[in-house]
Structure 1
Amino acid sequence: MKNYSIGEIAQKYQLSVATLRYYDEKGLLPFVKRNEYGQRIFTADDLGYLEVIACLKKSAIPLKDIKVFMQWCIQGDSTLPKRYEFMVSQEEILEQKINVLQANLEFLRWKKWYYAQAKTAGSEKMFFKTGTTQVDSKWRQKYLLEASENSSK
């Protein structure tokens, strides 16, 4: 079975060696062995664990939670229900974050359209309700209609 150095793993997962050492110090890599010189040695079996850690980290899951999850993985089949529930709850959290980000993206696209129109007109006053600086909702509706028509093409 092939062994990998910490440098090879860092390159493969686009992490710094310092980050991997930090993860190990924090208990996220309980599976990692050391050679006779004290150097961390990763095996092909470890790659699956590292892939899970990378995904969980990119999903903004706190390191302390990843540590617990990795400990469950090492403990084996008796922790399968806990690991399943962890993934279910993290999926729900990530879906909520995605929904918030999607809503933010949609709002930013509306504002981009708004400013493009105002820039072309040389003023945003055309969007305001008479006598105010409040944007008339008809403009948002116009944008949504145009966006809907463009997405169906």
Structure 2
Amino acid sequence: MTIAGVSQKFNVSQDTLRYYERIGLIPRVNRNKSGMRDYTEDDCKWVEFIKCMRGAGLPIEVLIEYVGLFQQGDETIDVRKELLIEQRKQLITRMEDMKKTLERLDYKIARYEQTVVGKEKTLRRPED
């Protein structure tokens, strides 16, 4: 698949895909005879994985480390697992913080809605 096709499929810019490859977030993509990137199904799985992990807030440095460990082979399985467990813990903490923020926003919005309703009542004429 071409870089344009991968870009469209995963809604990631071509520049981002090139950057991810350059910094080692996705393994080197093979090139066709014309020198154009030719993404395989495995390459696309890496793009999907990285996009998912970035969307969850995992740092680029952690993902570069993970990809590097993956490329070293099965002897790094335990290290990779621990890395993912640690990132999971951090994600849970961020989610809990976000839940608290959401609750606070809901509270503030409700307060504004009460204020607006209260003002509407005081603006009406007594005969309404």
- Report the TM-score when normalising by structure 2: 0.85
33, 37, 47: which one pairs with 2:34? 37
Asked if the contact 1:31/1:74 (under 8 Å) is kept, the reply is no
Structure 1: segments with no counterpart, 5+ residues: 124-153
- 2:75 and 2:29 map into 1 onto residues whose CA distance is 21
- 1:48 and 1:25 map into 2 onto residues whose CA distance is 17
- 2:37 and 2:66 map into 1 onto residues whose CA distance is 21
43, 48, 51: which one pairs with 1:46? 43
Query: How many correspondences in the alignment?
Result: 120
Say if 2:116 is the partner of 1:119: yes
RMSD: 1.6
Which structure would you say has the larger Rg?
1
**Per residue, is there more helix in 1 or in 2?**
2
**Sequence identity of aligned pairs in percent?**
32
- Report the TM-score when normalising by structure 1: 0.72
- 2:35 and 2:64 map into 1 onto residues whose CA distance is 22
105, 110, 113: which one pairs with 2:102? 105
Greater RCO structure (CA 8 Å; 6+ sep): 2
19, 35, 46: which one pairs with 1:22? 19
- Aligned residue type for 1:5: T
Asked if the contact 2:7/2:17 (under 8 Å) is kept, the reply is yes
**Per residue, is there more strand in 1 or in 2?**
1
Identify which range, 91-100 or 63-72, moves more after superposition.
Answer: 63-72
